[in-house]
Amino acid sequence: MKQKSFLLCVAFLLWVAHFSVQAGDISVSSTDFWANTGFHVEKGRHYHIAVKNMADVWDSKIPVRDLGGWPSPLAKILYAPLFWMRRRPLDPWFSVIATVDRRHPCRLRADRDYVAPASGELVCYFNDAPFAYANNKGTAVLSIVQSPRIPCCEK
């Protein structure tokens, strides 16, 4: 009887772990070439990522307050010819790029979930020129919430 109760308890805990939702805050320093977040993602899972605080993030004298990067239309126009200098040339200046263990780079967006392309640690960076991190200031705090599993929709 005790063994049956124990097995039921283990099965219940595994079931809870399978359907539990991972959530927390991560920090992305604008001066880090690779910002390790300590947050582990799971391949194929969806994550909603939102800005919690970016009040002190600057690229030199340009304030950055959301995942989309530079807000200034003038700066975007002036620096457009230098797009090829960005680590991710086709993503905006100072947009936030997510990787899994420094692989599978993908721009984070406020209007859509991030779908983890692999399992591992979420490592992020601001999309700057590789040599231009010294004039960056501040750290972004992002909230991240793993979407719950929907058994009927998963393979």
Give the residues lining the site for Ca ion (CB under 5 A): 59, 128, 132, 135-136
**46-53 and 96-100 as β-strands: parallel, antiparallel, unpaired?**
unpaired
- Nearer of residues 3 and 131 to Ca ion, judged by Cβ: 131
- Residue partners of 103: CB distance under 8 A and separation at least 6: 118
Sign of dihedral through CA atoms 5, 7, 8, 13? Answer: positive
- Nearer of residues 31 and 147 to Ca ion, judged by Cβ: 31
- Nearer of residues 91 and 128 to Ca ion, judged by Cβ: 128
- Nearer of residues 49 and 64 to Ca ion, judged by Cβ: 64
Residues 27, 141: contact at Cβ < 8 Å? Answer: yes
Of 22, 71, 26, nearest to 51 (Cα)?
26
Cα separation of 105 and 100, whole Å?
A: 7
Supply the minimum distance, in Å, between the C-beta of residue 27 and Ca ion: 18
Supply the minimum distance, in Å, between the C-beta of residue 60 and Ca ion: 6
Supply the minimum distance, in Å, between the C-beta of residue 134 and Ca ion: 7
Taking CB positions, which residue lies at the least distance from Ca ion? 132
Supply the minimum distance, in Å, between the C-beta of residue 114 and Ca ion: 24
Count the Cβ atoms, other than its own, within 10 Å of residue 32: 16
- Nearer of residues 138 and 144 to Ca ion, judged by Cβ: 138
Supply the minimum distance, in Å, between the C-beta of residue 109 and Ca ion: 21
Q: CA 74, 84, 63, 123: dihedral to nearest 10 degrees?
A: 160
